[in-house]
Amino acid sequence: MHPAVRTRTMAPRPAVTAEPQPRTRRVRSLIDADAIRVLHRAARVLMDDLAELTDRLLAVVQDQEPAYRAAVESDPVGVWQEMHRSLRHSVASLLDPRGARDGARRCSWRIGATRAEQGLPLDAVLHAFRLGGSLVWQGLVEETSRRAPEDVRLLVHVATDVWHFVDEHCTIVTDAYRQVERQLAWRRENNVRLLSAALLDGTSRIADLPETARALDMPENGRYLVVAVADGGRTGARGAAVVRGAARVHWHAGVEVDYGIVLLGEDGAAGQGGDGDPPEPTGDPGARIGVGGAVDGLASVGEARRLADTALRMCPPDGGTIRLTEHLPAALVVSSPELGATLADRVLGPLDRVEPADREVLLDTVATWLACDGSAQRAGERLYCHRNTVLNRLRRFEQLTGRSLARPTDLVEISLALTARRLLTR
């Protein structure tokens, strides 16, 4: 920090020479000494009347800086004491620049840090600080004019140093404010992350839900679903997925999967009458997106996340979007992989006796026939073969597995077994 008044060391006495030394330096040092004398005389008066000076500053700040009015109304004594300390250090720096330096800096730093914590705008804090500097300078001029008007001209020689002090301490206030502001922002972000992680994990306490609702700016009793997004290691932009038709989305970045907590509007996925049309999530090509089912309230977001994970496990490796409500049978298989594997082995195990290529043809034919709603004609068109070929393959499948495609119970087991084989063996 530059002192309010520069201290000058005396130059060493020049050696005697034939030519006389210029007298301009001598005149300049005398002017500086006189200016400092005038400055100190006025500053001592300001120090004696510091309480009155503080009252004036408080009134000026209230009048010219609206942002400070609420702070003054809520804590008038605290604001007055803060201004009093700041003015005391400022005036003390005029009288003893070196001795008052550290204390003045600490005072300015505390002001910046405190006002950042209170959320007072930085511009308002700096404006108030400059108003204080202006009031001190005005006090110096007024006191000098009252006591010795002819000395006012000498204050010009210290004006630069006085305002340099004000500018330097505005920088100190700014640095403190921004440092605390960054810390507060990090704390808020970290707190939001912890709260949303607890929601998604299903470990939120009931007592924490109101705080979580405020932090996420979402209603505690809203209707929600969760979107799980993974990029398959290719796009690098998991959280860039957009959910159209949602009232609000909060994204939580994970190590491998990003989760969007989606607040549904009255016309969204869970409007008053039921599921309706779910919001449309879109992401980069190659992204895998799983959309879970709707749940009621923030307390159920953990269950919504598990549903989204189930949908994500059903996504093709090369990317795509799976909505759980459109693939419930497959979701049953994925939710219980052990039972799914057991079912697939029980139903399709007899085909292991067949040559691998032949086995794949039979399985592909059955899967295509099921996708075509049991139409051999359409299945043949997809497989580029005659419908009779399709029928022959279906009969051979029935013979090898001992299952009947005409029996509903067997058909359900065959369909689930094929789904388990597709999802659990890739």
Q: What is the mean pLDDT of residues 303-318?
A: 92
In angstroms, the CA 260 to CA 155 distance is 64
Tell me: pLDDT of 136 over 70: yes
% of the chain beyond a pLDDT of 90: 65
* Residue 234 and residue 110 share a domain: no
* Residue 140 and residue 32 share a domain: yes
In order of 106, 107, 119, 157, 368, the CA distances from 113 in angstroms are 10, 10, 10, 33, 69
Window from 112-116, 265-269, 360-364 with minimum mean pLDDT: 265-269
Q: What is the mean pLDDT of residues 55-82?
A: 91
With respect to residue 203, please indicate whether it lies within any of the assigned structural domains: no
Tell me: pLDDT of 140 over 60: yes
Q: What is the CATH number of the domain that holds 376?
A: 1.10.10.2840
Exposed e or buried b per residue across 298-326, where buried means at least 16 C-beta atoms within 10 angstroms of its C-beta: bbebbebbbbbbbbbbbbeeebebbbbbe
Domain limits for position 62: 24-184
* Residue 231 and residue 136 share a domain: no
Pick from 196, 203, 183, 256: which is nearest to 224 by CA? 196
Give me the chain's average pLDDT, please.
Answer: 85
* Residue 180 and residue 244 share a domain: no
Tell me: pLDDT of 270 over 80: no
Tell me: pLDDT of 24 over 50: no
Residue whose token pair is 């001209």:
153
Beta carbons within 8 Å of 237's beta carbon, 6+ residues apart: 231, 283, 284, 287
In this predicted structure, what is the pLDDT of residue 269? Answer: 44
Tell me: pLDDT of 177 over 80: yes
Rg (CA), the chain: 39
* Last residue of one domain, picked from the residues 159, 184, 209: 184
Tell me: pLDDT of 158 over 80: yes
Window from 167-176, 263-272, 298-307 with minimum mean pLDDT: 263-272
Q: What is the mean pLDDT of residues 324-329?
A: 89
* Residue 54 and residue 91 share a domain: yes
* Residue 384 and residue 413 share a domain: yes
Exposed e or buried b per residue across 27-42, where buried means at least 16 C-beta atoms within 10 angstroms of its C-beta: eeeeebeebbebbeeb
With respect to residue 10, please indicate whether it lies within any of the assigned structural domains: no
With respect to residue 207, please indicate whether it lies within any of the assigned structural domains: no
Asked whether the beta carbons of 347 and 417 are under 8 A apart, the reply is: yes
How does strand 280-282 pair with strand 288-291? unpaired
Tell me: pLDDT of 282 over 70: no
Report residue 18's pLDDT band, with 50, 70 and 90 as the boundaries. Answer: very low
* Residue 156 and residue 54 share a domain: yes
In order of 56, 70, 72, 86, 277, the CA distances from 79 in angstroms are 13, 11, 6, 11, 56
* Residue 150 and residue 38 share a domain: yes
Q: Look up residue 161 and give its amino acid.
A: D
* Residue 293 and residue 245 share a domain: yes
* Residue 279 and residue 312 share a domain: yes
* Residue 350 and residue 320 share a domain: no
Beta carbons within 8 Å of 330's beta carbon, 6+ residues apart: 314, 419, 423
Tell me: pLDDT of 104 over 90: yes
Report residue 283's pLDDT band, with 50, 70 and 90 as the boundaries. Answer: low
With respect to residue 80, please indicate whether it lies within any of the assigned structural domains: yes
In this predicted structure, what is the pLDDT of residue 255? Answer: 86
In angstroms, the CA 141 to CA 125 distance is 25
* Last residue of one domain, picked from the residues 309, 326, 343: 326
With respect to residue 33, please indicate whether it lies within any of the assigned structural domains: yes
Tell me: pLDDT of 221 over 60: yes
- Report how many domains make up the chain: 3
Q: Can you name the residues that pair with 207 across neighbouring β-strands?
A: none
In angstroms, the CA 151 to CA 145 distance is 7
Tell me: pLDDT of 27 over 60: no
Q: What is the mean pLDDT of residues 178-200?
A: 95
List pLDDT tens digits, range 357-411. Answer: 999 999 999 999 999 999 999 999 999 999 999 999 999 999 999 999 999 999 9
With respect to residue 2, please indicate whether it lies within any of the assigned structural domains: no
Tell me: pLDDT of 20 over 60: no
Q: What is the CATH number of the domain that holds 94?
A: 1.10.490
Tokens of 177: 């404010």
Pick from 331, 311, 220, 186: which is nearest to 259 by CA? 311
In this predicted structure, what is the pLDDT of residue 137? Answer: 94
With respect to residue 82, please indicate whether it lies within any of the assigned structural domains: yes
Coil, helix or strand at residue 185: helix
Cβ neighbour number for residue 277 with a 10 Å cutoff: 10
In angstroms, the CA 405 to CA 397 distance is 9
With respect to residue 13, please indicate whether it lies within any of the assigned structural domains: no
Cα angle, residue 172 at apex, residues 166 and 173 outer, rounded to 5°:
90
Exposed e or buried b per residue across 366-401, where buried means at least 16 C-beta atoms within 10 angstroms of its C-beta: bbbbbebeeebebbbeebeeeeeebeebbeebbebb
In angstroms, the CA 124 to CA 131 distance is 10
In order of 84, 88, 284, 370, the CA distances from 59 in angstroms are 13, 17, 58, 83
* Last residue of one domain, picked from the residues 293, 326, 359: 326
* Residue 348 and residue 318 share a domain: no
pTM above 0.75, yes or no: no
